[in-house]
Each structure stands twice: as C-alpha cells, then as structure tokens.
C-alpha cells in the first residue's frame, strides 16, 4: 500500500490513467498527474501534518476515498484540509468521506472544481467545511456537512453553484458567500445553524428554492443579504427562524415567491450605511409574530401582491406591519410589550381599519391566507428576546 502512495506522489509519467487504492494509506497523498482518476475502493488516508490529500494538477478526479484527520491548522482562511485542491482546474471529488478534520475540502485557484456527494462531520471546527477561494464556476452539490464554523464558504469565486446540500448544526453559517457575483444557491436545506446563512458584498447572485429553518438564536436569521446589488431571493421557505430574511444595505433586490412561516419576524429591512431598495412580490406570510419590520427610514421597498394570514380579505390595501412594529424596529427594548393586550388590540384595529395605517409600505393587492394553527409560544419569546439582542449585537 505504501508503494501505491509513492506512485501517486510522483505521478504517472504520461498523464491520465486510473489509480486504484485499497487499505490504509499514510498521508500526505500528493496527486500531481493531469487527468488522473483515483478510485478509493474502500481505501482510507490517515492524515498527519498539513493537508491529507493534495490535488495539484488539472483534471484529477477522486472517487470513493475516505480521509480520517488532517493537520492541526485551524486558521479560517488557510486551514489544513482533508482534501486540498490547488491550481487544479476541472478537478473533482465524488462520493468522498471526511472524519475528524477541521476542514474537509479547501479549493484555491481551481476554476471549475467540483465537490459532489461529500459527507463530512467537523469536530466543532473554527474553520469552514468546504472553502472555495478564487475558483470561479465551482460546483458544490449534494454534500452533507455539519460541525464546522461555516459549512460552505465561498469568496471571490463568481459563477459558483451551491446546490442540493444538507447543511446543519454548524457554528455560524450553513452557506456564506462573499465578494462574488452570479453565484447560484439552489435547493439547499440549511437548518439549525447557530446564526443562519449569508450572501454578502456581491452582485447578481441568486438564492432560489432553498429551505432555511431553525435558526433560533437571539440573532439567528434564515438569510442575510448584505451590501448586495441586483440579487434575487426567490421560491425559498423561511421557517421557524428568529428573523426569516434580513436585507441590509441591499440595492435592487427582488424578493419573490418565498414562504415566510412561523418566524419571529418574516422580513426585516435594516441599514448600516447605504440604505435599501427592494421589490417584495408574490410572497406568502403565515404565522409570523411580525411579517415585516423596517428600521431604514429611507428604504425604497415596493410591497405588492403578497399573501398574508392577517389580511382582511377585503379589496383594500394591507399594511404587513404595524405602527408598533415600526417603533420596535427603532427601540428594540420595547419588544417586551409586543404581546401586551393593549398592543394586540391596537394592531388588530390597524389590521381592520385602513385609515389607521401608515401608507408607505402598504400592499395594494394583498391576498388572504388561511391561518393554520398557532405559532409556538417559545418562538414568540425567542423573537422578543431577539429584538433586543439584535439591536445590542449591531451596536
């Protein structure tokens, strides 16, 4: 077996070919032959110092290999990894498994790299599970990741696709996209992460058809869209989060055809520096403590054609928040009174009497949704706590 390891280390002389592995292989295993195909066949690599398996030439494909452990490096941006892909255009990992490594896969300067069918559980790692850096058009698909700081972290990698992954129980984010454009985040399930998911400092990104749920920490959100331009958030389900979707300094963002179910707040529009502009159209709001909170006085939000369980069913505009909710967005310490009888009575009056509403965010063409049961009291309490701590965290 050690002979096979050395054979892979120095590469195949003429490129290409198939290398079949079996049994235990001491790391590091260095693959530097362009176009090499590696079949794990039940083999596993025992990681040591540094990266465990390195792919260092274009077109290498590794299938079915298991890695146990990697080096001690825990730096978030330059961690030791079970699989390291460097200068490896078009390389692919398919059906590999990782155990006990602080980072499962690190991809750098490898355009078109693919990570498909990975199963990895981190040791409550301070580093990402899959790190993609300066690798445009990468594909991260059908992976299962838990126990990392961020399950998938993508930076400076335009055109990347993050698709059909299960991301749960991570220390901060399920997926985290930074400084990238035209990234497609599609059909993922991200749940029970400590903070949520984020798309930040980019443009023309698409977050479509994901299920984002169970981010119930005091500052938890299904998705944060921050300092983005021209990004689309469509067809997602935001369920049982403290905050479903947060827009912060987001310009020309389209929020369409999403479902906001049983969140503390369905959609929050807030600002840090630059203000917001958004189209909120064709979404469904059911069972949220608040459907919409806005603490950006200059926000340009067009809210039209959404469905609400609180809508009157009459052919009149619906205001998807309340005057108390707007006050709460500016003074979160008042969240303790959100369920007080007087506040509930006032909000009920606003829901029925259009003349009492503030008109700026009224939906002129609302649809009526039937109520389905009562939201969890514990979620309400968490949402109230979250209002105050969200303000504290930002300040």
CATH of the domain at 143: 2.160.20.10
Contacts of 82 (CB under 8 A, 6+ apart): 45, 47, 51, 52, 53, 67, 69, 70, 98, 101, 103, 104, 105, 120
Task: Give the integer Cα–Cα distance in Å for 125 and 31.
Answer: 26
Strand partners, 20: 39
pLDDT tens track for 35-57: 999 999 889 999 888 999 999 99
Q: Domain range for residue 221?
A: 195-395
Please give the full DSSP string across 1-63, using - where no structure is assigned.
-HHHHHHHHH--TTS--EEE--SEEESPEEE-STT-EEE-TT-EEE--SS-SEEE-STT-EEE
Residue 359: inside a domain, yes or no? yes
pLDDT for 80 beyond 70:
yes
Strand partners, 119: 97, 144
Q: Grade residue 5 by pLDDT with cuts at 50, 70 and 90.
A: very low
| 204 and 83 in a common domain | no
Residue 178: inside a domain, yes or no? no
pLDDT at site 282: 97
| 109 and 49 in a common domain | yes
Strand partners, 56: none
Residue 341: inside a domain, yes or no? yes
Q: What is the 3-state secondary structure (H, E, C) of 126-137?
A: CCCCEEEECCCC
| 69 and 204 in a common domain | no
H helices of 50-172, in order, are: none
| 201 and 164 in a common domain | no
| 388 and 262 in a common domain | yes
Q: Grade residue 328 by pLDDT with cuts at 50, 70 and 90.
A: low
Does residue 262 contact residue 379 with C-beta atoms inside 8 Å?
Answer: yes
Task: Give the integer Cα–Cα distance in Å for 148 and 296.
Answer: 33
Residue 158: inside a domain, yes or no? yes
Q: How far is CA 308 from CA 249, 285, 286, 318, in A?
A: 26, 5, 6, 9
| 103 and 26 in a common domain | yes
Residue 174: inside a domain, yes or no? no
pTM of the model: 0.85
| 71 and 25 in a common domain | yes
pLDDT for 241 beyond 80:
yes
| 393 and 327 in a common domain | yes
Task: Give the integer Cα–Cα distance in Å for 391 and 395.
Answer: 6
| 292 and 156 in a common domain | no
| 352 and 247 in a common domain | yes
Phi, psi at residue 244, to the nearest 5°?
-70, -65
∠361-390-282 over CA atoms, to 5°?
Answer: 35
H helix or E strand, kind and range, residue 179: none
How many CB atoms lie under 10 A from the CB of residue 48? 15
pLDDT tens track for 123-177: 988 999 999 999 999 999 999 999 999 999 999 999 999 999 999 999 999 999 9
Give the number of domains in the chain. Answer: 2
| 120 and 222 in a common domain | no
Residue 281: inside a domain, yes or no? yes
Judge if the upstream peptide bond of residue 339 is cis by omega within 30 degrees of 0.
no
Task: Give the integer Cα–Cα distance in Å for 119 and 66.
Answer: 10
Residue 2: inside a domain, yes or no? yes
Does residue 224 contact residue 198 with C-beta atoms inside 8 Å?
Answer: yes
Residue 176: inside a domain, yes or no? no
| 202 and 161 in a common domain | no
Residue 251 DSSP code: B
Read off the pLDDT of each residue in 318-338 and give the average, rounded to a whole number.
55
pLDDT at site 48: 84
């Amino acid at each position: 077996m050690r002979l096979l390891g050395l054979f892979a280390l120095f590469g195949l002389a003429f490129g290409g070919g198939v290398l079949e592995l079996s049994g235990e292989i001491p790391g590091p295993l260095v693959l530097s032959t362009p176009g090499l195909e590696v079949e794990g066949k039940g083999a596993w690599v025992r990681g040591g110092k540094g990266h465990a398996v390195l792919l260092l030439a274009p077109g290498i494909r590794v299938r079915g290999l298991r890695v146990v452990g990697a080096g001690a490096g825990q730096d978030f941006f330059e961690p030791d990894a079970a699989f390291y892909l460097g200068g490896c255009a078009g390389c692919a990992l398919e059906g590999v498994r990782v155990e006990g490594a602080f980072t499962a896969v690190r991809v750098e300067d490898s355009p078109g790299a693919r990570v498909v069918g990975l199963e990895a559980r981190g040791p409550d790692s301070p580093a990402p599970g899959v790190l993609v850096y300066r690798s445009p058009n990468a594909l991260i698909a059908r992976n299962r990741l838990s126990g990392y700081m961020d399950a998938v972290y993508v930076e400076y990698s335009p055109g990347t696709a993050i698709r059909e992954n299960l991301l749960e129980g991570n220390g901060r984010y399920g997926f985290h996209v930074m400084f990238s454009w035209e990234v497609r985040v599609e059909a993922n399930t991200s749940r029970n992460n400590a903070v949520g998911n984020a798309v930040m400092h980019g443009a023309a990104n698409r977050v479509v058809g994901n299920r984002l749920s169970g981010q119930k920490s005091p500052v938890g959100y299904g998705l944060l869209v921050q300092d983005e331009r021209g990004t689309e958030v469509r067809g997602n389900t935001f369920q049982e989060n403290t905050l479903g979707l947060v827009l912060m300094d987001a310009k020309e963002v389209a929020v369409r055809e999403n479902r906001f179910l049983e969140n503390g707040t369905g959609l929050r529009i807030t600002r840090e520096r630059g203000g917001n502009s958004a189209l909120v159209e064709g979404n469904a709001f059911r069972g949220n403590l608040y459907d919409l909170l806005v603490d950006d006085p200059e926000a340009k939000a067009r809210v039209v054609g959404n469905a609400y369980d609180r809508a009157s069913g009459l052919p009149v505009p619906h205001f998807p928040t309340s005057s108390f909710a707007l006050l709460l967005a500016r003074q979160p310490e008042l969240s303790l009174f959100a369920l007080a009888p007087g506040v509930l009575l006032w909000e009920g009056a606003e829901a029925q009497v259009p003349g009492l509403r503030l008109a700026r965010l009224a939906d002129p063409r609302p649809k009526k949704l039937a109520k389905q049961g009562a939201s969890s009291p514990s979620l309400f309490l968490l949402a109230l706590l979250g209002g105050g701590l969200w303000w504290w965290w930002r300040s």
